[in-house]
Structure 1
Amino acid sequence: MRSSISRDELRAEFPILRRYIYLDHAATGPLPLRSVAKMTQLLERMTTGVIPPDEAFGLIEATRRELARLVGCSVEEIALIKNTTAGLLIAIGSIEFQPGDNVILQQGGFPANQYPWHYLLPQVEKRYLDPGQPIPEQLDRLIDGRTRAVSVDLVDYLTGIRIDLEEIRELLPDEVYLITDGIQAIGAVAVDLGPVDFLTCGSGKWLLSPQGTGFLYVKREKLDRLRLTNIGWLSSEWKGFTELKIRPIRTTAARFEEGTPNLVGLAGMGESVRMLNSIGIEVIESSIRQLTRLIKDGVDREEFEVVTPRLESGIVTLRPKREIKGYKERLDGAGIIVSERMGCLRISPHFYNTEAEIERLIEVLNRK
C-alpha cells in the first residue's frame, strides 16, 4: 500500500483485527478509533454544556467537504442524510411521475432500491435490467418515450458486479434520470459521478462510519428542474434566531437537509472519510483489487464457483459446490468473518487487510 500512513498504523485504528480476520465490509464496516474519539469528545461536551451553533455547522460543513473530495464533486452537490433509502426517497419525490410512466430497475437488486419504487409508485410500470447481461441490448428494448428514470446498484450486493454507468448514460435521453445506490462502491473504488443524476449512499459499510449517516449526491445542473421535496426549516440559510421568518430555500443539494442533523454521527463520518482521503481512494482501490484477485486465484475451483466477474469491486462471492454450512462454520471457527448470502460466501476485504490474512482464508477454504 502506497500511503504516507503505514499499514500497521492504519490497522491499529481497528481493534477488531486483534481478534478476527475481518472480511465483511459489504455488511458492516468497523469504526476507526479516531472516529470514536471524535464522537466521544462531542458526547462528553454535551454532558456539561452545548455545542455552539457555529461550531456545529462548521463540523457539518467539514464533513460535506470531505465527502465531496472523496467522490470528486462540488460541495454544493452533497446533501447529508441518514441512510441509502432516505436518498432514494428524495430522488423519487423530486421527479414528477405520471400514471403510465415507467422506470427501469435492477433485477435482483438490493431491497433498498426496490421497496420505495414498488410501494410509492404503484401507477408507474417497473421494467427490469439484468446487470449480468449486455446493457445496450436491454436498454434498447426497455426504454421508450414514457421512461422517466433508471435506478441501479452501482455494485451488486451479492455478486459484486460493477455496473458501467457511462455506458448506461450514453444510451439515455437527457430527460431520463440516472439514479444509483452507491453503498457497495463508495469508499472501496473510485467513482466517476459524471453520468449520474443522483447517487445515494449510507456510510456504515466501506466508509467505516456510524450507522444512521450517509450522503446524497445531486447533479448541480439538475437541481433547478427538481420538484421540491423533503423541505424543512433547515432547507434555508439561517444566521441566527432573531428573525424567524420564511426564507428562500438553498440553491444547493443541502436544501434536502430538512431539520436537526445527527451531529455526533456526522462528526464521526467526517473523521472516517478524512482518513480515507488521507490514504487516497486510488490507493484503497488498488489494495482491495490485489486482495480480491488473490482470493479469485487462490480458491479451489473444484470446490467453489467464483460468481464475481473480473470487473472488480470490493466483493468476491463464492458458491460452494457442496453444503455451505460446513464452510461457514469452518471460517467462524478460524476467526474469519465473512457473510453467507443466498447460498454463497461473500468476502469483502478493505485496504487494511493483508495478503497473509487472505492466504489464511484460502488455506481454511481449501482444506480437505
Structure 2
Amino acid sequence: MTFEEARAQFPVLDRIAYLNAGTFGPVPRGVHDALVQALDRDFEAGRSGMPYFEETMELRTEARSRVAGLVHADPLQVALTASTTDACNIVVAGLGLTAEDEIVTTSAEHFGLLGALSISPARVVVADPEPDAILAAVTPRTRLLALSQVLWTTGRVLPVLELREQTGIPVLVDGAQSVGAIPVSFAGLDFLTISGQKWLCGPDSTGALVVAEPDRLRIASPSYFAQASYELDGTFEPRPGAARFEPNWWSAASLRGFLAALDARPEWAFDHAADVAERCRVVLSSRVELATPEERATLVAFRAPGDPAELVAQLYEQGVHVRETPKTGLVRVSCGWWTSDGDLERLVAALP
C-alpha cells in the first residue's frame, strides 16, 4: 500500500489537516462501511437468534486475537473494554489495595488513569515524570506503578519496562497514546490499557485491557462475561483468561468496524508516523517554543503567545484540528501514519 493509497482511505483529509488522533483518530472508509453494513443488517434482520449471537461472539474472539498480535501478547491475556478508563478501573479495583499500600504515578497523567487511582484506598504518590524521580518515590509500601507509556501532554516516552525491572513492582501502563502510534510489546509488563478510537482509528467506545496473569486479578465488577457458569445465588465460575474482566457488550457493528480499522493499517505505519512527527518539530521550531523530550513519540507539543485554547479554536476555523492540554499551556499536534507534509504546511501557515 502506497502512502497515497493509505491516505485516500480518509475522506476527511481532503478538507482538514487532521492532527488530533490523540483524542479521536480519523475514520477510515473501511470502518465507515463496516459500521453501516452491520447496522443495516441489524436493522433489516434483527439482533437475535443463536446464529447472530454466535457470530458476534466469534467476532469478539477475533478482536482479542488481533489486539494480542498488535502488542505481542496471548489472546487469553486480552479483555475487550470500552476505553482505557474502563481498563484502569478494572485493574485498580481488582488489586485489593488497602490504606497501608501506595501507588506511584506521575504529575503528567490523564484523568482516565488518575480517576481510578483516586478512589483506591491506597495512598497515591505523585512523582515528576522522570525515571529517577519515579524510582525515588518507591517505598516498601509501593504495590503498583501507574504510568503512561507516552505522556498525553508532551509525547514523552517513559521506560515502563525498565522501571518494572528495576523495582520489581507491578506496573499498570496507560497505553492510550502509545498503542497504534509506536511499536508496543506487552512482554514483561503486568497490565496494559488500549484505546481503540485514537491511534487505531476504530469506532467510539472500543478499547482493551491486557493482563499478564488473569487468575491473580480479582473480578471487582462482574458482567455477564465474567462467568463460565453460575448458581442461583450468584456464585460463579470465572471464564478462562482475561475475558472474565470484560465489562460490556460490543455490537457486531463496533466489532466489524474495529477489525476494519486494524486492516486499514499499512505495514509502514510506525515508521511514517515517527518520521512525520520529526518533520513537524522541524517546521514548527522557528515559529513556536517546542517541548521536545529526548525519548518521544508522535505527539508534538508547543507553546505559542496568547491563550492556547483560543489558538486551537482559531486553527480549527482554518481547517487545522489540534488540541490544547489543560493545565499545561501547551498545544498538542498528533502525527499519524496518514499525516502528510501538506498537513504540516497548513498548520504552520495557520499560525498567527
Output the TM-score relative to the length of structure 2: 0.90
Aligned partner (choices 241, 258, 267) of residue 256 of structure 2: 267
1:26 is matched with which residue?
Answer: 22
71-80 vs 43-52, which moves further: 43-52
* 1:173-252 paired onto structure 2 within 5 Å: 173=168, 176-219=169-212, 222-237=213-228, 248-252=237-241
1:170 is matched with which residue?
Answer: 165
41-50 vs 77-86, which moves further: 41-50
Aligned-partner Cα distance in 1 for 2:152–2:135: 25
After superposition, give the CA deviation of every residue in 1:299-320 in whole Å (9 maximum; x if it has no partner).
244x421113132211000111
Aligned partner (choices 156, 165, 168) of residue 161 of structure 1: 156
The residue type paired with residue 307 of structure 1 is: A
Aligned-partner Cα distance in 2 for 1:227–1:328: 43
Change (3 A) 1:315 1:260: closer
Secondary structure of the 1:114 match is: helix
After superposition, give the CA deviation of every residue in 1:88-147 in whole Å (9 maximum; x if it has no partner).
1110122121222111012131111111211x22x421111211x3x1x32442212211
Aligned-partner Cα distance in 2 for 1:224–1:234: 15
How many residue pairs get aligned? The number is 342
Offset at residue 202 of structure 1 (A): 2.3
Aligned-partner Cα distance in 2 for 1:56–1:14: 27
* 1:270-309 paired onto structure 2 within 5 Å: 270-276=259-265, 279-280=266-267, 283-301=268-286, 303-309=287-293
Aligned-partner Cα distance in 1 for 2:94–2:20: 34
Secondary structure of the 1:248 match is: strand
After superposition, give the CA deviation of every residue in 1:159-205 in whole Å (9 maximum; x if it has no partner).
111111122112222xx320011111111100121232111122111
Aligned-partner Cα distance in 2 for 1:81–1:30: 20
8 Å CA contact 2:105, 2:134 repeated in 1: no
**Structure 1, gaps ≥5 residues long:** 239-244
1:242 is matched with which residue?
Answer: none
Change (3 A) 1:138 1:295: same
Aligned-partner Cα distance in 1 for 2:256–2:91: 25
210-219 vs 64-73, which moves further: 64-73
Aligned-partner Cα distance in 2 for 1:58–1:140: 43
Secondary structure of the 2:80 match is: strand
Offset at residue 260 of structure 1 (A): 3.6
Offset at residue 251 of structure 1 (A): 2.2
After superposition, give the CA deviation of every residue in 1:206-260 in whole Å (9 maximum; x if it has no partner).
11011111100111xx22222232323322348xxxxxx9763222111112554
Change (3 A) 1:356 1:310: farther
Aligned-partner Cα distance in 2 for 1:258–1:364: 43
Offset at residue 334 of structure 1 (A): 3.4
The residue type paired with residue 127 of structure 2 is: L
Offset at residue 324 of structure 1 (A): 4.4
1:42 is matched with which residue?
Answer: 38
1:315 is matched with which residue?
Answer: 299
Aligned-partner Cα distance in 2 for 1:325–1:126: 30
